[in-house]
Amino acid sequence: DIQMTQSPSSLSASVGDRVTITCQASQDISNYLNWYQQKPGKAPKFLIYDASNLETGVPSRFSGSGSGTDFTFTISSLQPEDIATYYCQQYDNLPLTFGGGTKVEIK
């Protein structure tokens, strides 16, 4: 199984800050990576596919990059509504696997 290691597990930042989350795959997954945002009590919201493609309607302050084993998710200017937990997910191989999540809080 492909292990997805996300870091940090939590972070605290100020409104307007640039926030970066990393996701490392245990083997090469090319660019077969999704990113999601999840707020408490809600289903995950799809943000990015193929590592760097923004889903329609997602604000441009969100971005993703990377390929192979190392990936980055960035919020260019943190907004209060971005408080959530973020997950990466690989779809190169079954079983599909998710990172452990990064909880983003406002400082």
Partner 1 sequence: EVQLVESGGGLVQPGGSLRVSCVASGFTFSSYWMSWVRQAPGKGLEWVANIKQDGSEKYYVDSVKGRFTISRDNAKNSLYLQMNSLRAEDTAVYYCARGYRIGQHWGQGTLVTVSS
The tokens for 91 are 């779809």
Residue 4, strand partner residues: 25
Residue 23, strand partner residues: 6, 71
Could you tell me which of 43, 35, 3, 40 has the C-alpha nearest to residue 19?
Answer: 35
Residues that bind partner 1 (CB under 8 A): 1, 32, 34, 36, 38, 42-44, 46, 49, 55, 87, 89, 91, 94-101
C-beta closer to partner 1: residue 84 or 89: 89
In whole angstroms, the minimum distance from the beta carbon of 62 to partner 1 comes to 14
C-beta closer to partner 1: residue 17 or 24: 24
